[in-house]
Structure 1
């Protein structure tokens, strides 16, 4: 669990998730999602805590890297990594998204569907990064 391979994959994915999250939700989709938000629960920009946001990304990346190491069984590639991450995105974006849609007034249906599609891409990219680090740090077979 705390192997060099897993920790490097965790670090790389945490940085990518932090930066990509800012690009996707903080910039590209901010206005769109705001228009589909029903209840304003977000903190103002000046009250957001980047340390906690990064810590959340770090824990998420660690969980993903640990699960990926067991799921991949030594087959590391971009397609495998994206598939793994996209499945995580389906769990979060569609699984939790529909639960939130059924239990809260956070966003409308369109907002949740766009959020789900974004989660699939976001976690797919994180999975690719994890896979590439695993591939780059795996022991090479003697020919």
Structure 2
């Protein structure tokens, strides 16, 4: 669980997840999601410590699961495919559950979120797969 590959993939994946997440949701799509929000629930300002901690824990979980799922066939392409499945779970699976149980966004917002999640987690998976490929024995 705390192998060299897993720890390095977690650290590098965390940095990419944190920065890419900020670029996507904090800058590029902030106005879009604000327009599709049905309730204003955002903290102002957001608590970056808990965002970073959530990214670190999430990346560790993804990296650990990837290490077992890939069964030694580590690569960026394999990691991207794995990340797409994480994105489908989060973006479509959880997104539709949130749409059905809460009033966070309209359907357009949730569908766009799902597409972004699939791409986002695909990239995170590719980074993790690449690190595993370069660092595993």
Tell me the TM-score normalized by structure 1. Answer: 0.94
Structure 1 equivalent of residue 110 of structure 2 = 112
Structure 2 equivalent of residue 13 of structure 1 = 13
The superposition leaves residues 72-126 of structure 1 with CA deviations (integer Å, 9 ceiling, x where unpaired) of 0111122211110110010000000000110111000000000000110111100
C-alpha distance in 1 between matches for 2:115 and 2:133: 27
Structure 2 equivalent of residue 55 of structure 1 = 53
How far does residue 48 in structure 1 lie from its aligned partner after superposition?
1.4
Structure 1 equivalent of residue 3 of structure 2 = 3
Q: In angstroms, what is the RMSD of aligned CA positions?
A: 0.7
How far does residue 6 in structure 1 lie from its aligned partner after superposition?
0.4
The superposition leaves residues 30-80 of structure 1 with CA deviations (integer Å, 9 ceiling, x where unpaired) of 000110000100011xx3121111110000000000000000011112221
User: Is the counterpart of residue 103 in structure 1 residue 101 in structure 2?
Assistant: yes
Greater Cα radius of gyration, structure 1 or 2: 1
User: Is the counterpart of residue 39 in structure 1 residue 32 in structure 2?
Assistant: no
My pick for the range that moved more, 125-134 or 48-57, is 48-57
C-alpha distance in 1 between matches for 2:72 and 2:2: 17
Greater than 2 Å deviation, 4+ residue runs:
none
* 2:7 match: secondary structure: helix
Residue segments in structure 2 that go unaligned for 5+ positions in a row? none
Tell me the TM-score normalized by structure 2. Answer: 0.98
Structure 1 equivalent of residue 25 of structure 2 = 25
**Residues matched between the structures, number:** 137
